[in-house]
Structure 1
Amino acid sequence: MERADVSIIRLPVDQSGPHVQPLFTEPRVAVLPIGHPLAGRSAVTVLDLADDHLLQAPDAVPEWRDVARELRTGQCDDVPALHSVEEKLELVAAGAGIRVLPLSTAAFCARPDVVAVPVDGIGPSRVCLVWVATRRSRPIQDFADAFPSLAPTA
């Protein structure tokens, strides 16, 4: 089995072992079925989505988790194991729920039966470079140095 020395990942990830170097952030959007009442909006709030079923772990979108009606009433459906963006969007298109994705993922995987809507009040997707903190080699450091933070400066 081969191992990668360095990976590019999206947070969250357990940061107690690896070294995590932030690269950039990007907005996240709610992906809704085309017939959803909010699908025509230019943007929505997390509260607008409180009645929807989230097709991902609630902790992946803590802002939604904190206001979700289904979690407060204990009437939430299980989230099936989904292995690809295509599977996720297929369930959204079928009306099984909504999904929150990074903007670039939603744009790359666009399809005519779903719509991506910006969500006000939700944190961005954070992309980072990660490697095992105890591994200190020149190639790893050179690679990390080649990717300074791309986050915009204020």
Structure 2
Amino acid sequence: MKYDLEKTQTHNLSLDFHCCLKNYNQIIQSEDDDLDDLPSFFDDNVVAIDLDCIERLRASQLRQDQVSTMDTVFAISDLDQTEMLLVELRLNYKNLYNLNRNKLIAKVEGSISLLGNSVPINENYIFIFQPNKKQEAINRIARMIPSLNSNYQVLDLNDLIRIYF
């Protein structure tokens, strides 16, 4: 399955929180302290739903605490089906011992709850790290979440692009 712009733009959350549908390069720039200029990893028309943005707005509207969520979600599809792919950008991580099992699980659970069931959610939860931290992150998450290891996938941005775009 590959990225689907139309299905991303027409997802309920995109329609209800249009201001949180953002250019993916802008989201990456905001999540990577090493990037001063807007990167060009993706074409300008590639957008994703910024779940952190939605959760901030939703919590403010409901006057309640924010729930932890993954950073982004976008639609992927093939001829037969469409699913939403959850992606967490961990581009600033220097010390992977700061990863917390419960926080990772809470991010996934909070995102699933926020998305609802209008479109199926892909069974893989993607965590993006810098290329020089990817293998260490794979090992760390495998030790932290062995029973869920196959669903918690560590990639770098190049992998994400190669697999889903």
**Which range, TM-score by smaller chain?**
under 0.3
Question: TM-score under structure 1 normalisation?
Answer: 0.25
Task: Return the TM-score normalized by structure 2.
Answer: 0.24
Q: Which protein has the bigger strand share?
A: 1
- Name whichever structure is richer in helix by fraction: 2
Query: Larger C-alpha radius of gyration, 1 or 2?
Result: 1
Higher relative contact order (CA 8 A, sep 6+): 1
